[in-house]
Structure 1
């Protein structure tokens, strides 16, 4: 028998994390360049409250890696935010916080 996992995801307002009262077990936000908090390429973040879901998403983020370096347990992707995009976001945070 195959198990089916259905997650409730919420998308935060453009470039802003969701308010705590409106947060689902997993919430995402985008750092697309045209958003208020945007990087120079495409990027995003997930806010997860469940450790099990977090482990699965971290595994998918790094090509489906399991507990061991060569243990591939699922189909994954290379979807990590690179250092340049992270640097841009860190530089934008002070002005973004002033706009809130």
Structure 2
């Protein structure tokens, strides 16, 4: 997944994120950031962004190979089935009103 901002454009950081950590976790994060030649904030933001994109990837988009796309289209082009039980359920008054 790629960033939506064009290369070379720096967006102003106007929002603050705070978190609590153990000294051990803070040291671990600092060592990892140093290993990549960056600071803790940049490291956490970059790694947090990647983790968030992975979590949301299958909720926002999915990718099919050619055969998968053909199968998807075949399934979605079928006529809708009649489901009498569902029709009866939808005719009943909502218990949440």
**Which structure has greater strand proportion?**
1
**Which structure has greater helix proportion?**
2
TM category, shorter: under 0.3
Structure showing greater relative contact order (alpha-carbon pairs closer than 8 Å, 6 or more residues apart): 1
Q: So what's the TM-score if we normalise by structure 1?
A: 0.23
Larger Rg: 2
Q: So what's the TM-score if we normalise by structure 2?
A: 0.24
